[in-house]
């Protein structure tokens, strides 16, 4: 860990991976998802809320321990980043230019992922592979928690789709990268005795496979191999960004990709 006297500690590449800057960077997305869920994903008549499956899984985990509350997954992100900041004893100071630079970097990382989706479309010969609107919407619908009486994905408004895209970026990355990679790395290194660097990449591969299966790439005709390949490669891509550039960047890359395919394409 770099000390406070290390000149690199004030660099963009360092500060953009630190918990306080990540928290400030992600706070608007957390608020946007929670407010958007109430405004655009809630049925006023029944009170049912359509939400991200990863979000529902984490909320269910808390419920199993008797801790209820719809906002808990969002609170979890804030608490984890705050505790991390306290443990590493970073300064309570935000370098303001870092935040817009993080957004620009995230946008730049989104472009290769959009290109990857198109490559999969062309090489797998699947006209509705991720990156094309059809399967992109089906994939987004697959990550929604099943709620009886919820409207089909195609019927959702643009603000609702935007909310889903933001939630997928936040809570899928929390589940598969921040939590998933940490758990697999712990198992690989502390139990299996692998080197830390090897354990890190094993964790990336395992989390990418789990990420692909989570998106349920099985259609009426069986496994949709183009979708499975894309989500696995996207999981590897997200895992690599997470290890190299941190949690904040990978969340926004994921969210921007989903925004592009669910609301713009």
Per-residue pLDDT, 38:
84
Task: Report the distance separating Cα 93 and Cα 241, nearest Å.
Answer: 25
Given this model, what pLDDT does residue 51 score?
67
Distance CA 118, CA 213 (A): 20
Q: What is the pLDDT of residue 262?
A: 84
DSSP for residue 223: E
Supply the pLDDT for residue 73.
80
Q: What is the pTM of this model?
A: 0.86
Residues pairing with 219 in the sheet: 222
Cα-based distances in Å from 69 to 15, 29, 33, 56, 72: 32, 19, 15, 11, 6
Q: At what angle do helices 225-245 and 247-259 cross, to 10 degrees?
A: 150
- Report which of 204, 199, 202 is spatially closest to residue 235, judged by C-alpha positions: 204
CA distances to 70, 117, 153, 182, 230 from 121, rounded to whole Å, are 37, 6, 22, 32, 9
Q: What is the pLDDT of residue 60?
A: 63
Q: Which pLDDT belongs to residue 4?
A: 52
Can you give the pLDDT of all 265 residues of the chain as single tens digits?
454 555 567 899 999 999 999 999 999 999 999 898 888 877 666 555 566 677 666 666 555 555 555 567 888 899 999 999 999 999 999 999 999 999 999 999 999 999 998 888 778 755 444 444 344 444 444 455 544 445 556 677 889 889 989 999 999 999 999 999 999 999 999 999 989 999 999 999 999 999 999 887 776 677 778 888 899 999 999 999 999 999 999 999 999 999 998 887 6
Q: Would you state the pLDDT for residue 134?
A: 40
- Measured between alpha carbons, how far is 193 from 197 in angstroms, rounded to an integer? 12
Q: How many residues belong to the chain?
A: 265
Alpha helices in 125-224 (DSSP H): 133-142, 158-173, 180-186, 196-214
């Amino acid at each position: 860990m770099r000390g406070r006297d290390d000149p690199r500690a004030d660099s963009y590449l360092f500060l953009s991976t630190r918990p306080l800057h990540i928290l400030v960077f992600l706070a608007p997305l957390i608020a946007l998802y929670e407010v958007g869920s109430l405004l655009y994903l809630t049925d006023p008549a029944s009170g049912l809320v359509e939400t991200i499956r990863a979000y529902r899984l984490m909320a269910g985990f808390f419920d199993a321990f008797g801790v209820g509350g719809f906002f808990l997954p969002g609170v979890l992100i804030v608490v984890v980043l705050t505790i991390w900041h306290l443990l590493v004893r970073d300064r309570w100071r935000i370098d303001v230019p870092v935040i817009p630079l993080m957004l620009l970097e995230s946008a730049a990382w989104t472009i290769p992922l959009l290109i990857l989706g198109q490559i999969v479309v062309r090489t797998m010969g699947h006209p509705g592979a991720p990156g094309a609107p059809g399967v992109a919407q089906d994939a987004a619908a697959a990550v929604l928690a099943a709620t009886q009486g919820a409207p089909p994905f195609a019927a959702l408004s643009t603000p609702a789709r935007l909310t889903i895209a933001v939630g997928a970026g936040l809570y899928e990355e929390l589940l598969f990268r921040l939590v998933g990679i940490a758990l697999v790395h712990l198992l690989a290194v502390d139990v299996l005795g692998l080197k830390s660097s090897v354990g890190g990449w094993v964790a990336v591969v395992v989390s990418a496979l789990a990420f692909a299966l989570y998106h349920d790439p099985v259609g009426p005709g069986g496994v949709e191999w183009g979708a499975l390949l894309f989500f696995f490669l996207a999981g590897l891509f997200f895992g690599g960004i997470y290890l190299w550039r941190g949690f904040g960047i990978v969340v926004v890359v994921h969210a921007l990709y989903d925004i592009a395919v669910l609301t713009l394409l």
